[in-house]
A and B are shown apart, each in its own frame.
Chain A
Amino acid sequence: MIGKQFVKGNEAVAMAAIKAGVRCYFGYPITPQSDIPEYLSRELPRNGGTFIQAESEIGAINMVLGASAAGLRAMTSSSGPGISLKQEGISYMAGSELPGVIVDIMRQGPGLGGIDASQADYYQATRGGGHGGYRIIVLAPGSVQEMYDLTMLAFDLSDLYRIPAMVLADSVLGQMKESITPNRRPVCALPPKDWAVRGWAEGSPQNVVKSLKLGDGEMEKFHWEMHARYQLLADRESRWEEYRTDDARLIVTAFGSTARISRTAVETARAAGMKVGLLRPITLVPFPKKIYADLSRRCKLFLDIELSTGQMIDDVRLSVERDTEVAFYGRPPGAGSLPTPEEIFEQIGKVYP
């Protein structure tokens, strides 16, 4: 029996990374995620790993690329402005089919923004973020326990599909403390990293890891292969949570901290006799399209809630049946703009069919 521990969301990420066998962490401090490098700077060397505070975010992501190319489990973490800087490296990793975990504890933007919670980096995370037309796996925890569990999952999915994986949370989830069970790493059969860089001297063929593909048809082939892999990912790895959707006339949908706040609003609505449910995507890439399509045949209306002026709503609209209505309530991120359950309940009342 593993005892419960009362920890910050950021600490849960760091604890899970060590349990998942991360060998290298490279990062650069930025609020509201600096607890992750702080924890790992202390604990990772004690657990046989390497911690480096890089000279910049760009340096850090390219160190992740290098360590991953050598076959090691590697990660970085940052927030908005730092994640923007890392996009070049993430694109190179995607082009090189390299696994690696990137944690984004979202803060306000654009620009320097501020340190309060935001979900306005949804587009950046789910559309790849950098140049060249690729996707990364994006996992959206909704509690401190999930910060732990999904960080572990991110490493396994990334290794399994050779696609970089992002844990996308915000400063609410990063800074809040809850009791978690630090579970053991789940068993996951992973293929050997026989693609890792290797020289001639070792007696077997040389392995080169690169994103430069100049051969005739080489890049086109790569893109079709990745396209098929993204489809496989969608078929096998889509994850979501439903709460009281069975008889719901209205389904609230939200991810991360906003889903957590919305769930209390849904409970209030149920107590008031309204048939309201909640659908929370756990994987944002792959987006769990099928469950949206299935539920849209049963309910009258979706209400999408975001801490932005609306980004995930595009994916919701693309996933539901053509004539399903999707209402929206959002607050642009900023100090004092975090919606309350009371506020969301009021919105439910306004649109309830």
Chain B
Amino acid sequence: MRHDVFIAGYGGQGVLLAGNLLSYAAIHEGRNVSFFPAYGVEKRGGAAMCTVIIADGDTGSPVVGHPSVAIMLNQLSFDKYAAKVKPGGFCIVNSSLVEADTAALPGVTLVRVPMNQIAIELGDARMVNMVACGAYAAVSGALALPSLQEALQKALPARNHSFIPANVKAMEAGAEQVRSAQGQ
């Protein structure tokens, strides 16, 4: 089974770390991964995006024209990239910052997750990307949450390992938000 996900936001939202986490989680599950980042020259505030491809066999092109899942962390990314999502795919939006119109994406399931709000409620707005990873796991079924939690050990430098429990909570909250929305 092949999964691809495109993540976009602005520099500082943790787009690349989110992509790294998904990659390490997939490797933990014994899959092949290609992680392809692209970002502006600015340290913060510029555009940041990445594509992660998870496959049992060859991962193929690191560039995907029409991803099956997209995670849009800010309005600019949504306006620019949401229309690229493959029909039948999912567009997960950070509804704290993105105004998204379902009618603009025919054939695509829009999943609204108030990522900033959830992260702030859990104590730190910087965990937006963790909420996004949890939501992705629940939407795609591509990765198990425990693999993502395992991935934190590898994706984060040792000095930040004390933050892992809080990050795990943020992932669980992201996944829970998706599950409760699907249950409605």
Using CB atoms and an 8 Å cutoff, list the residues of chain A in contact with chain B.
6, 31, 114-116, 172, 175-179, 257, 260-261, 263-265, 267, 338-343
The 8 A-B residue pairs with the shortest CB-CB distance in the complex, in nearest-first order: A340-B65, A264-B61, A342-B65, A264-B60, A177-B35, A261-B61, A176-B36, A341-B61
Q: Indicate whether A178 sits within 8 Å of B59 (C-beta atoms), given known contacts A172-B36, A341-B65, A343-B65.
A: yes
The distance from the CB of A173 to the nearest CB of chain B, in whole angstroms, is: 9
List 23 contacting pairs A-B, 8 Å CB cutoff, sorted by A. Answer: A6-B24, A6-B154, A31-B41, A115-B41, A172-B62, A172-B63, A175-B37, A175-B38, A176-B36, A176-B62, A177-B35, A178-B32, A178-B59, A179-B32, A179-B33, A260-B62, A261-B61, A261-B63, A264-B60, A265-B61, A267-B60, A338-B63, A342-B66
B116 neighbours in A (Cβ, 8 Å)? none
Select one of A6, A263, A342 contacting B27, CB under 8 A.
A6
Q: Which of B33, B35, B61, B154 has its CB near the most chain A CB atoms (within 10 A)?
A: B61
Contact of A341 with B34 at beta-carbon distance under 8 Å, contacts A6-B24, A115-B41, A177-B20 already known: no
Residue of B nearest to A171 (CB): B38
Name the prevailing secondary structure of the B interface residues. mixed
B64 on interface, CB distance cutoff 8 Å = yes
Q: Could you mark each residue 27-66 of chain B with 1 if its beta carbon is under 8 Å from any beta carbon of chain A, else 0?
A: 1000011111110010000000000000000011111111
**A176 CA to B37 CA, complexed, in Å:** 6
User: Is A341 within 8 A of B63, CB to CB?
Assistant: yes
CB distance from B32 to the nearest CB of A (A): 7
CB <8 Å contact, A341 and B60: yes
CA distance A342 to B86 in the complex (A): 12
- Cβ 8 A contact of A6, one of B23, B41, B60, B66: B23
What are the residues of chain A within 8 A of B32 when measuring CB–CB? 178-179
A340 in contact with B64 (CB, 8 Å): yes
Specify which chain B residues have a CB less than 8 angstroms from the CB of A6 in the assembled complex.
Answer: 23-24, 27, 33, 154
Give the residues in chain B near A265, CB-CB below 8 Å.
61
Among residues of B, the one whose C-beta sits closest to the C-beta of A115 is: B41
For residue A57, give the distance in angstroms from its CB to the closest CB of chain B.
19
A85 to B24, CA, bound (A): 38
User: What residues of A have a CB within 8 angstroms of the CB of B27 in the complex?
Assistant: 6, 179
Query: Is the Cβ of A178 less than 8 Å from the Cβ of B38?
Result: no
Complex Cα distance, B36 from A176, in Å, reads: 4
Residues from chain B with a CB closer than 8 A to the CB of A343 are 65
Within 8 Å by CB of B34, from A31, A176, A263, A342, lies A176
A261 and B65 CA atoms in complex are apart in Å by 10
Residues on the B chain within 8 Å of A116, using CB: 38
Query: A263-B60, A340-B63 are known contacts; what are 4 more A-B pairs with Cβ within 8 Å?
Result: A176-B35, A178-B33, A338-B63, A341-B61
Q: Please, how many angstroms separate the alpha-carbon atoms of A213 and B97 in the complex?
A: 68
Partner of B63, one of A31, A175, A339: A339
B156 to chain A, nearest CB (A): 14
A261-B62 CB under 8 A given contacts A6-B23, A177-B23: yes
**Distance in angstroms between the alpha carbons of A267 and B37 in the assembled complex:** 24
Report the minimal beta-carbon distance from A122 to chain B, rounded to whole angstroms.
Answer: 19
Closest partner residue, chain A, to B155 (CB atom): A6
Interfacial chain A residues near B63, Cβ < 8 Å: 172, 261, 338-341
* Chain A residues with CB below 8 A from B41, complex form: 31, 114-115
